Amino acid sequence: METSPSAQPAKPTAPQVTLTQVLEDYPLYRTWKGEWSAPGTISRDCKQCGKETTWKYNGSLSNSPSGSFKLPYYRCVNCENDSVYFLIVVLNNGRLMKAGQFPMPSVRVPNSIEKRLGASADFYRKALTSRNEGYGLRAVAYFRRVVEDKTNELIDVVADAAEAHSVPTTDVEKIRAAKNEKAYEDKLKIAAQAIPEVLKPHGANPFQAMYDILSIGIHTQSEEECLQIADDTREIFDYLFDRLRTEIAERSAFVSKVKAIAGKRGLRDSS
């Protein structure tokens, strides 16, 4: 494990994570830099309510004499019938760690993703479980397997998106041709080069980002760094696999609708 002197300045690229996010979504045993101050509310899924609700800070069960343990608990504001308990350890180096959570963090794979994943859903679930339990290396391995299983599908989604954006057919075919590569890293690399500008939100190339993340040699990374790699992999995968697909469907439906309306007007107004 790497121990850094406390005077070392924070990495400028480190994303600003709030204590609320630590309670809501941080893996166990991953450390967070900052002072403990119980957030007033957090958001999370409530089993009783069957949806994401607001949970209110309801006190702390007890404090160890040294103050090095915090046991905050939260209750669902909606049903007032479900509680969640955390064990927060205050470390000596100005950092905190979520060392426990009851009930266990959810490993629910979003419905829209689970159906499409098919046989890979099990790997996705194991990736989430590993991540929530702080096993970064294992989480990365499972997420990489999911990406590998679904690379062709990701390429098709992006090619479909290109079509929906009226990208010329020859350029769309260049994207699809990436599927001819053998290794999934090569598929992503070729697809990254073929992706049109219109599918790079603010210049961000999702395939290039995915390729870059997959190229990180995890054998040299710490468990914590792997947790971040796992989260980054998941974010890009979910975007390509789920959100982009939904966008295409909405865009296509909208275009058809507008064309149908324009067609009717065209019949009336034709000169």
Q: Using CB under 5 A, list all residues that contact Zn ion.
A: 46, 48-49, 53, 76, 78-79, 82
**75 or 116: CB nearest Zn ion:** 75
State in angstroms the smallest separation of the CB of 194 from Zn ion: 47
Contact yes or no for 165/256 (Cβ under 8 A): no
What CA–CA distance (Å, rounded) separates 117 from 234? 13
Coil, strand, or helix at residue 265? helix
Closest CB to Zn ion among 23 and 113?
23
**Least distance from C-beta 132 to Zn ion, angstroms?**
21
| CA dist., res. 95 & res. 73, Å (int) | 20
Q: How far is the CB of 18 from Zn ion (least distance, A)?
A: 23
Tokens 């990254």 belong to which residue?
192
Q: How far is the CB of 102 from Zn ion (least distance, A)?
A: 16
Asked if 196 and 159 touch (Cβ cutoff 8 Å), the reply is no
DSSP 38-55: --SEEEEEETTTTEEEEE
Nearer to Zn ion, 56 or 265 (CB): 56
Tokens 């395939």 label which residue? 207
Q: Which is nearer to Zn ion, 75 or 145 (CB)?
A: 75
Closer residue to Zn ion, CB minimum distance, 39 or 196: 39
Residue 68 carries which DSSP code? -
Tell the smallest beta-carbon distance from residue 44 to Zn ion (Å): 10
